[in-house]
Each structure stands twice: as C-alpha cells, then as structure tokens.
Amino acid sequence: MSTPTAPHALTALEQAAAVRAGDISPVELVRHHLDRAEEFDARYGAFLTRTPEAALDAAATLEKAGRGTSPGALFGVPTAVKDLVETAGVVTTYGSKVFAGHVPDADAHSVRRLREAGTVSLGKTNTPEFGCCCYTDNDLAGPARSPWDPALSAGGSSGGAAVAVALGLVPVAHASDGGGSIRIPASVCGLFGLKPARGRVSSGPLGAEVNGLAVQGPLARSVRDAAALLDVLAGPEPGDPHWAAPLPPGETFLGHAGREPGRLRIGRYAVPAADGITVDPVCLAAWEHASRLLESLGHEVEDIPTPFGPEVGDQFVTAWGVQSLGRAVGPEQEASLRPVTRAWRAYGRQVSGERFAAAITGMHRATRRAVEATGAYDAVLTPALATLPRPVGHFDESGDPLVNLRRQSPFSAFTSPYNMTGQPAVSLPLYWTAEHGLPVGVQLAGRPADEATLIALSAQLEAAAPWRDRYAALF
C-alpha cells in the first residue's frame, strides 16, 4: 500500500497513523526515508553515521510485533539520534575524529526510550566536536548546511538533526541544548525546537551534569510532533541530579498541544544581556511580528527590562569552559582536536576550583533574580538569535580561535540564559525574510518546568500562522 502523499511530507504523527491504519508498513516507511537520506545527506551534512541495515531490521521487528498490539503515538516512525549521545553497537563519535572508532556497549536512557516507543533510528546526526559550538562542522563529516541555502551554516550544535528534519530525512529528531543548540538550528532551518526544563529528560547513564546547562529534547516540523517526542523522552531515571515536576496523572504533552492556552500575559524584551551585541533588524522584525500575532490572539504583551545582567556572560563562559573538559582525551590526542575545542579546553584548565564555584554560585543567584523578575508572566518573548544565518566559511577555524568564539556570540545571546535558569524554551518559525525566504525564529521561554503552557501556546501560534506549506520548497 502507499499513502496519498509522499511519506516524508507527512508529520511524524501522520506517519504513525498511516502505519496503524495499514496504509504503509514500518519497513516501507523506513526504506523511503533511508532512500531520501541517501539522496540528500552528502550535500547537506545531516548524518555522521547512517545505519540502514539495523534500521530495516528494527522496522521488520516492529512490523511483526505491532500485529495485535496497541502501538504508541510514534510507533514505526523513523528518527535519528544526535551523535553526542551513546547508542549501543553504533559508532558514537561526539563529532570528533579522536572517537571515530568508538562503539558504546550501552544505550543512553533517551535512546532506550526512543526504541521502546517503537521509533526507528536511521543513525547518528552531525554535531560539532563535543557539541561545543553554535554551528555544526567537524573533521569527520564536514559542515551541516541550511536546507534553504546550502551556502549557509545550519547552526548548531544540533545542526545535523535540524537538517534531517527540515529535508524530510526523518520527521522528528532527538537533539540536545546546552546554550541554544536546539533553538539555534531550529531558527536557521525553520523548525519548531523545544528545549525542555532542566531535569525533564535524563542525560544518564553517562551524560555530564557538572553545570546543569544541557538537556535533550525534540526538533520537529510541527508542535504536536515535538510534544509527542517529548512524551517519549520525558521522565527521570535513578540517580539523576535534577527532576522536573511531572505532569498530573493522565496528562501528556501531546494532549496540551490540543488545548487552548487561555489569555496569557507575555513579557517581551530584545536587548541581550551581554554587552556589545547588536540585534539584526530582521530579527527585531520577526520579534515584532510575533508580538502582534500574540496580541491578535488575545494575549497581553508587555515590554519588560532584560531580566539578566551582563555578568551572566562571564558566568556562562566559565561554566562552559569547565564543561568542555568532561570528555576524556589522552594528552597525545589533544593535538588532534579542532582549534576551537582546544581553546575551550585550555581555558577550562585555567579555571580554578574557587573560580568555578564562584561562577556557578553567581549564575544561580542571577538566574533566581531573573525568574523572580519575570514571575508575573506566563511566557517571555525574545528574538531567537541576534543575527541572521551566516555562511559556512564564517566560522573558519584556521585563524585565531577567539575570533571564532566572538563570531558565535550573537547566536546564543538570547538562548543561553535560559539554559542557566533551567526554564523550558522554544524557537518558532513564524517569520521569513522577504528577499531570500529564509526562516527567522523567535523564542518563547516558559515558567520553570512548565512546558505544557509553552506547547499549548506554540500550537495556537502554529494554527494561526501555519508554516507547514513552507517545506514544499524542500520536498
């Protein structure tokens, strides 16, 4: 059987519905997406490793097991896992040639949850070395390129996942975000990206928690798909250092995507906390457009001062520099790392324990003040990025790494503070440039552990200003 629309043009939930209805089998669905990945991956850099044989075997197993069962919301749906996360029996490189032959013997909890939900991974998506950059490039697969203009970077560090979803190589993908790494490529690639609250998704058993900045979450072409994947990923595991408050019994994030959010109070600001960053006028236009759309839906939108002070920049850099040392590399292998990775690690080694403790303490104080300052609002609206997408060569690593790092700053100016607070935040593709038709995202940050309201509000915005037809140009 075949679906009336090309399978890759369907949302993840539509694909799963087609499997349940018998309109397409898991094997047919997986094979279709594998063929599409074969066609586009080399040009756009979505994957570091593709696993076609394992994917077809898993799909065949699902096909047999699905008979007579009640499969879940994403049963049979192809997906992919970011290559910062361990997958048993599959090369997991962390974006580094130092780990080119590394094959874990155990899954990350998130990977196990994806498999138990009946999704089928087609492989590991492209990421910068150790996920340390807001663009995606490495010495193994090269850069991930924007599907809208392959001369442009797809953003990072979940750039490969974003490319895979935007091009329909998979309908929804696993990603992670330590300073904007879901929201940045979502903005660049025209996707809905959701950074969950701290403690919502387990990073165990091997994920680092030294600063609490990073969390795993979904990249999708629709809010409902992202909510469904979050339902799969969400939930604490024994030993996790952070646990987000769960939804009430019987509720799901997908269920909230079908609820009206009611009239909400939205605060908005567009001045970055970090000094010296000028926001591109097009990013401001996208922010103004989203503000008007929110008002047209009956929400109260108010200007507020930037809730973060400039000190959070240094605190984040200190925390991130120490985090860069979390991946063990032998002294003889250090020279094989990329220049920016080496620069981060060299900086991290210079941070004393006293300085690191002061940075983490200061970060907690600053973020508590920010959460209190915005406590009267159901959500906060900002630009997603302070800059438009940049050419792949803009992030060249052959020169001074500090120049490279400064060039990254406008990409994370609005996103990284919400990794520090641990609040959930999303990027929505509500605006497109008039001249080149490039997506420009806006960010909504929610109350602590309140993804539910963000999802309901995002679904309302998607219904009011649908972006699905935009992908026709890529399909």
Of the residues 181, 202, 291, 409, only one is catalytic, namely 181
Q: What is the DSSP letter of 66?
A: T
Per-residue pLDDT tens digits for 325-340: 999 999 999 999 999 9
| CA-based nearest residue to 150, from 136, 138, 139, 140 | 136
Q: How do residues 339-393 score in pLDDT, each as one tens digit?
A: 999 999 999 999 999 999 999 999 999 999 999 999 999 999 999 999 999 999 9
pLDDT at site 442: 99
User: Are the C-beta atoms of residues 195 and 182 closer than 8 Å to each other?
Assistant: yes
Three-state DSSP at 337 gives coil
Residue 281: is it exposed, middle or buried by C-beta count within 10 angstroms (0-12/13-18/19+)?
exposed
Catalytic residue among 121, 157, 187, 409: 157
Per-residue pLDDT for 1 more than 60?
no
For 16-45, the pLDDT digits (tens) are: 999 999 999 999 999 999 999 999 999 999
Angle at CA of residue 211, ends 207 and 213, nearest 5°: 75
* pLDDT at residue 28 in the model: 98
Beta strands of 135-255 (E only): which ranges?
145-146, 149-153, 172-177, 192-195, 215-220
Phi, psi angle pair for 314, to nearest 5°: -65, -35
**97 in catalytic set:** no
Q: Confidence class of residue 2 from pLDDT cuts 50, 70 and 90?
A: very low
5 burial level (CB within 10 Å; 0-12, 13-18, 19+):
exposed
Query: Amino acid letter at 253?
Result: F
**Structure confidence at residue 473 as a pLDDT band (50, 70, 90):** confident
Sequence ranges of the domains in the chain = 7-473
Q: Domain 7-473 is of which CATH architecture? A: Alpha-Beta Complex (3.90)
pTM for the full predicted model: 0.97
Q: What share of the chain is helix, strand, coil (3-state, %, to 5)?
A: 45, 15, 40
Based on the residue annotation, tell me whether 82 is a catalytic residue of this protein.
yes
